[in-house]
A and B are shown apart, each in its own frame.
Chain A
Amino acid sequence: MNIRKTLATLGISALVGLSAAQAVAAGTIKIGSFLAVTGPAAFLGDPELKTLQMYIDEINTKGGVNGMQLELVHYDTGGKAKEAVGFAKRLIKKDRVDVIVGGSTSGSTLAVIPLVEKDRIPFISLAGSVKIIDPVKKWVFKVPHTDRMAAAKIFEDMKKRGIKRIALISGSGGFGKSGRSQVLALAPEQGIEVVSDESYGAKDTDMTAQLTKIRNTDAQAILCFGFGTGPAIVTKNVRQLGIELPLYQSHGVASKKFIELAGAAAEGVRLPASALLVADKLPASDPQKGLLLAYKQRFESKYGPVSTFGGHAYDGLMITVRAIERAGGTDKAKVRDEIEKTRGFIGTGGIFNMSPTDHLGLDLSAFKMLEIKHGDWTIVE
């Protein structure tokens, strides 16, 4: 008897719950996301998810978008491209989301593109590779700077210092490889010669062998392209070997963690990075300053040190929200058109001006060239 009663209550409450959920669903905008929240790329996906949740909550408490509440449907890919495809399918077919903001790594984003194009759903990627938007795909956008821009920014700084011959050392992971090919492709047209091209494994613990080889070339600077522990070990090994050449790193290490890991060896290292890292050092006239400080303050009061990756999620989400506002609804084709018309949007990554031929909309000014001095970032002018 008792059991029957419980079952009955459960059944009723389940029914009530279901209809309540349906009622909410009628007035919601579903934002789908697949991120590398765990696994080797967790440092990307983790702050991205936190940022999405934080701002979606905030938008909802302020009354939502066009009077509709936002609902986040997200899956953890663990950094695996294969998982990403499965989750993207589920987001589109089963969860029927209105737009996708996600894809922490270039691998998972590239794997999902054919699906997104086929099912015609607006997709804003949070991954770095230039291949995502070059050539332009109708439904695919991205917000982070590309590795090609990072290489261009580094070359710009090198030319100012009169550096013509460089040694390249890159990680064997996707980010390092993609960076390496961009550097090699861009160098000739910038008048820079790559005299040494070395690599290291993602989990390698010592790069002195490669750097000893580099020391015996006539390179005027060393450029390291990678993320994780590798670049920090390269930095320490360069100092250990007493190499005096200027050392450049990529935007892959643009976090306080790098300075912490490399310690004193990081002094004098230069790298291109988003303005978010130096928000408090920007001149008051900088249009991004207010937003950057607000995002930084909000993220740090809740979760700890801010990273540029969480910022990409902010940019992706806000561009989507603005586009839905302008489109006056969630019609996928209209939202896509409005995303493409994003102009003068001030995000954490820079000022976005998208167009039918440019689905990123950032230029080199979005990057700041930084130098590490006394264990902190300084802006190089």
Chain B
Amino acid sequence: MADQILQFLLTGITVGATYALVALGFAIIYNASDVVNFAQGEFVMIGAMSAVALSAGDGGLPMPVALLLAVLITVGVGVLLQRFAIAPARGASVVTTIIITIGASIFLRGVALLVWGKDIFALPAFSGDAPIHIGQATLLPQNLWVMGGAGLMVLGVHWFFGHTTIGKAVLACSCNRTAAHLVGINVGLMMLIAYGLSAFLGAMAGVLVAPITFTSYDAGVMLGLKGFAAAILGGMGNPMGAVAGGLLLGLIESLSAGLISSGYKDAIGFVILLLVLFFRPSGLFGRASVERV
């Protein structure tokens, strides 16, 4: 039984790390503009799909180059999305902007369908498929890549918002856009940076998990949804909360699949999410929002 539990925990952490990476992307754009970017899952998909496209076949690029280019392409998409879809709606309310991101996600999915077709693709694992044994439980080297990558990026994001001028400027835009503008912050540029960074995180998540989960033009839908749930669970706008939410959601799913019923694991995950929102509406680690009148 102990072996089983250990395996469930390892599985939960692996799946959770994936959710956490996606959730992190949500948190950054939310931090900068109070907008939930529903195209976040599509960033993940574009990262993974471009990596597959660039590295596939005999004329393909070597893996590290392909991964780097894939991430750059996705950052480009993120910046273009901000510049041509979000920025023109500058005066619009947050809800309108969120609806624009939903539209953008459908558009990006459509483009991916036209460019790459409907097939499912796999990316080769970075360092082999030989499982690593921990007692009776096992995990794959790629799982370590996902966990390590997630860990590094969380620290990076934490440092960016807490210790760099640009990071603090991005945060300032979220607190009060007009005031930020008045003290000389280039709000437009900060928004570009936020979307670029968020696309970067999405793409990293995409290339790290693609060897385990495979990818297709519509792979972003479910990952986006789970990442969003994780971000809500942890508390929107708190990068650490997003990560905690992701890990928690992964663990809940894997433990309920293992110990209760695999058919109900998603339901159990969402019931717990609802309970958390009921008792702590701003998420486990979110600041309570104060409405000033």
Residues of A within 8 A of B (CB): 38, 40, 42-43, 46, 172, 198-201, 203, 205-206, 208-210, 212-213, 216, 228-229, 232-233, 236, 239-242, 257, 260-261, 263-265
Residues in chain B near residue A260, CB distance under 8 A = 122
Contact at B120–A213, with CB atoms within 8 Å?
Answer: no
Residues in chain B near residue A200, CB distance under 8 A = 257, 262
Known contacts being A233-B214, A240-B138, A265-B129, is A209 close to B254, with CB within 8 Å? yes
- Assess whether B15 is interfacial by the CB under 8 Å rule: yes
Contact at B214–A229, with CB atoms within 8 Å?
Answer: yes
Could you tell me how many residues of chain B have their Cβ less than 8 Å away from some Cβ of chain A? 38
Please choose the segment from B4-12, B149-157, B173-181, B277-285 that sits at the chain A interface, where 4 or more of its residues have CB less than 8 A away: B4-12
Contact at B118–A46, with CB atoms within 8 Å?
Answer: yes
Contact at B213–A210, with CB atoms within 8 Å?
Answer: no
User: How far does the Cβ of A45 sit from chain B's closest Cβ, in whole Å?
Assistant: 10
Contact at B11–A209, with CB atoms within 8 Å?
Answer: yes
- List 30 A–B pairs whose Cβ atoms lie within 8 Å, in order of A's numbering: A38-B113, A38-B118, A40-B218, A43-B119, A46-B118, A172-B263, A199-B262, A200-B257, A203-B221, A203-B222, A205-B15, A206-B11, A206-B15, A208-B7, A208-B10, A208-B254, A209-B11, A209-B258, A209-B262, A212-B8, A213-B262, A228-B120, A229-B216, A240-B131, A240-B139, A242-B131, A257-B119, A261-B120, A261-B122, A264-B129
A172 to B14, CA, bound (A): 22
Kindly identify which residue among A210, A216, A241, A242 contacts B262, using a CB–CB cutoff of 8 Å. A210
A232 to B120, CA, bound (A): 11
Known contacts A205-B209, A261-B214; 8 additional CB pairs below 8 A are A199-B262, A212-B4, A213-B258, A229-B120, A240-B129, A240-B140, A241-B131, A263-B122
A203 to B222, CA, bound (A): 7
* In the A-B complex, the 5 residue pairs with the closest CB atoms: A203-B222, A205-B213, A209-B258, A209-B257, A42-B118
* Majority DSSP secondary structure for residues of B touching A: helix
Contact at B118–A213, with CB atoms within 8 Å?
Answer: no
Interface hub of A172, A216, A229, A242 (most chain B Cβ within 10 A): A229
- Assess whether B34 is interfacial by the CB under 8 Å rule: no
Contact at B263–A199, with CB atoms within 8 Å?
Answer: yes
Instruction: Name A265's closest neighbour in chain B (CB-CB).
Output: B129
Known contacts being A209-B11, A216-B4, A233-B213, is A198 close to B262, with CB within 8 Å? yes
Residues in chain B near residue A240, CB distance under 8 A = 129, 131, 138-140
Contact at A257–B120, with CB atoms within 8 Å?
Answer: yes
Contact at B11–A208, with CB atoms within 8 Å?
Answer: yes
Residues in chain A near residue B266, CB distance under 8 A = 201
User: How far does the Cβ of B125 sit from chain A's closest Cβ, in whole Å?
Assistant: 9
Residues in chain A near residue B129, CB distance under 8 A = 236, 239-240, 263-265
A263 to B129, CA, bound (A): 10
Contact at A213–B4, with CB atoms within 8 Å?
Answer: yes
A172 to B18, CA, bound (A): 22
Contact at B258–A212, with CB atoms within 8 Å?
Answer: yes
Within 8 A of A (CB), among B100-120: 113, 118-120
Interface hub of B7, B209, B253 (most chain A Cβ within 10 A): B7
A241 to B129, CA, bound (A): 12
Residues in chain A near residue B216, CB distance under 8 A = 229
- Assess whether B274 is interfacial by the CB under 8 Å rule: no
Instruction: Name A201's closest neighbour in chain B (CB-CB).
Output: B266
Interface hub of A199, A201, A203, A265 (most chain B Cβ within 10 A): A203
Residues in chain A near residue B263, CB distance under 8 A = 172, 199
Contact at A205–B120, with CB atoms within 8 Å?
Answer: no
- Assess whether B72 is interfacial by the CB under 8 Å rule: no
Residues in chain B near residue A241, CB distance under 8 A = 7, 131, 138
A212 to B118, CA, bound (A): 32
A361 to B140, CA, bound (A): 46
Residues in chain B near residue A205, CB distance under 8 A = 15, 18, 209, 212-213
Contact at B14–A206, with CB atoms within 8 Å?
Answer: yes
Interface hub of B18, B122, B222 (most chain A Cβ within 10 A): B122
Known contacts being A172-B263, A210-B262, is A232 close to B11, with CB within 8 Å? no
A228 to B215, CA, bound (A): 11
Interface hub of B10, B11, B15, B262 (most chain A Cβ within 10 A): B262
Instruction: Name A262's closest neighbour in chain B (CB-CB).
Output: B122
A264 to B257, CA, bound (A): 26
Residues in chain A near residue B218, CB distance under 8 A = 40
A200 to B15, CA, bound (A): 14
Within 8 A of A (CB), among B173-218: 209, 212-214, 216, 218
Within 8 A of A (CB), among B235-269: 253-255, 257-258, 262-263, 265-266
A200 to B261, CA, bound (A): 10
